[in-house]
Amino acid sequence: MKALIVEDEPRARRVLENLLRTHFPEVEVAGMTASVKETVAWLSRMKADVIFMDVELADGNCFDIFAQTAVDAHVVMTTAYDNYAVKAFEVNSVDYLLKPVDQEDLARAIERVRERMDAPKGIDYEKVLEAFRNLQKAEDIPAPATAPPGQFREKFLIRLNDRIVPVHVHDIAYFFSESKNSYIVTKGNVTYVLDDSLDTIEMSLPPKAFFRISRGVIISEDVIESASRLLGGRLRLTLKRGIDAETDLTVSRSRADAFLQWLEA
């Protein structure tokens, strides 16, 4: 089974490629592209059995690819969990993966593709695109649930074998999740594993100091140097000097406006 990865975020692209090469030897990564333009050019001269395709790309969205070239492959959409995207996929029976992609979910997606290898590749992507537009217009982004005033956490206790290390909230650069684990990254670039989910962590943090920029990342205002706009409405964050980015720090489209309001407050 030959696969094409269409993903404009370098780290997300590497994670998916490594998962495929390490755990799914029957899947050959035949190519990787990062934009609509690159993907259309690749498909004009090559073929794939399955395409893992990010919805939002640097120069447009994946539907621009379908508008410009015939896609004779099974497609698995990837998304950072914008609610309207997931609804559009589910309503139209389109295979999708939530980012950050993990091995278990990827295995299910590959199995579904394998079962459909001989079936027609007849998804009506115009219908999916229309569902995207309608759901995006109707989607309201609810404010995250938070702890009552005065009950926000001041520190996290990290268990390291027989030691317990306190990490104060004001020393935290960001939280991120990957492969169903949660992590703290400090302003000193030390990474710790947490037992709590990002949903639980988000509720315990002061909302003026931290913001959940995507399904997989909560960031501290203290460490943000700048935000640059990407096509498709997303924002890419640059951290202050000396603070490393261990995960993709892109503000999802559904959270971009709220993030800018938070940053301005």
CA atoms of 110 and 76, how far apart (whole Å): 9
State residue 213's pLDDT score: 92
Q: How confident is the model over 149-170, as pLDDT tens digits?
A: 557 889 999 988 888 899 999 9
The CA radius of gyration of the chain, in Å to the nearest whole number, is 20
Cβ-contact 171, 222 below 8 angstroms: no
Asked whether the beta carbons of 133 and 88 are under 8 A apart, the reply is no
End-to-end Cα, the chain, rounded Å: 50
Q: What is the spatial distance between Cα 24 and Cα 142, in angstroms, rounded to a whole number? A: 38
What does the alpha-carbon distance between residue 131 and residue 134 come to, in Å, rounded to a whole number?
5
What's the length of the chain?
A: 265
Q: Give me the domains of the chain, ranges plus CATH numbers.
A: 2-138 (3.40.50.2300), 155-264 (2.40.50.40)
Both tokens assigned to 75:
């497609």
Tens-digit pLDDT profile for residues 71-111: 888 889 888 756 656 666 766 667 888 877 889 989 999 99
Q: Which of 80-84, 224-228, 253-257 has the highest mean predicted lDDT (pLDDT)?
A: 224-228
CA torsion angle for 118, 27, 182, 219 (degrees, to 10)? -90
Report the distance separating Cα 23 and Cα 105, nearest Å: 12
pLDDT digits (tens, 9 = 90+) for 11-58: 788 889 999 999 999 999 999 999 999 999 999 999 999 999 988 787
Q: Which pair of tokens denotes residue 222?
A: 């203290």
Helices 10-23 + 103-115 axis angle, to 10: 70
SS3 206: coil
Residue with tokens 């537009």: 133
Q: Do 53 and 78 meet the contact criterion of CB atoms below 8 Å apart?
A: yes
Under DSSP, the state recorded for 144 is: P
Angle between helices 83-91 and 125-138 (to 10 degrees): 140
Burial label for 84, CB within 10 Å (0-12, 13-18, 19+), is buried
108 residue type, one letter: R
Is pLDDT of 140 > 60?
no
- Displacement of CA 73 from its chain's centroid (Å): 23
